[in-house]
Every structure is written in C-alpha cells, then in structure tokens.
Amino acid sequence: MDRSVGVFRRTTVTITSKELICYSDFPMPAEFPNYLHHSKYLEYIRKYADHFHLEQYIRFETEVVSVEPRPDGDGRWLVTSRKTDSSDTTTELFDAVMV
C-alpha cells in the first residue's frame, strides 16, 4: 500500500459542518467539533444506530449482489447478498432500500 494513502486515511476530516451532515432527528453532540475527524463521524453514526436500534438490520462483511423491485409491483425490494468470505447468496425481501 502506498504510504501516502495510509496517512490520508488517518487524517481525513469532513469538509462539511456537523450541522449539515447530521440527521434531522439526531443532532450532533454539542461537544463535537464543527468539522469532524473521520473517527468522530464514525462515532456519531454508531450512536445513531444504537439510539434507533438499527444494528440488528445491518449486515456487516456482506456484499450486495443485486437490488431489484419485486416483480408483482407491490413496491418492495428483493435484495441478494453474500458474505465476503462465501460464494453462497441469500435473497431477502425489504419494504425499502437505502443506499
């Protein structure tokens, strides 16, 4: 790996203020700096997921293979995925998809 890439990753800071990148239903903590180091932004995302009990819906180490509208047109989505260490796929039905 190019050493400059590693340094860049360790020093990345947002270029948008915390007020503009936070979710409207979950403000940034007041003690966070206005422009966040990437570790602080990750901390915010984890707090959000914890607050809204979202982790149960997140699939870590998983690759999305395809996202398709359900053929019957009911507005739901078929999402096919696979764990990064496997070739087996799983298809699940969801009411919504967020990218």
Question: Measured between alpha carbons, how far is 59 from 99 in angstroms, rounded to an integer?
Answer: 13
Domains identified in the chain, total number: 2
Residues 33 and 63 in one domain: no
Q: Is residue 63 part of a domain?
A: yes
Q: Is the pLDDT of residue 1 over 50?
A: no
Q: Please, which contacts does 7-16 make with residues 24 or more away whose CB atoms are closer than 8 Å?
A: 9/38, 12/37, 12/38, 13/37, 13/38, 14/38, 14/41
Do both 33 and 9 map to the same domain? yes
In this structure, is residue 99 part of a structural domain? no
Q: Which domain covers residue 78, as residue numbers?
A: 59-94
Q: How confident is the model at residue 99 (pLDDT cuts 50, 70, 90)?
A: confident
Within this chain, do residues 25 and 64 fall inside the same structural domain, yes or no? no
Same domain? For 41 and 22 the reply is: yes
* Model pTM above 0.85: no
Find out whether 37 and 12 touch, Cβ atoms under 8 Å: yes
Residues 49 and 7 occupy one common structural domain: yes
User: In sequence order, which residues have a C-beta less than 8 Å from that of residue 13 and are 6 or more positions away?
Assistant: 35, 36, 37, 38
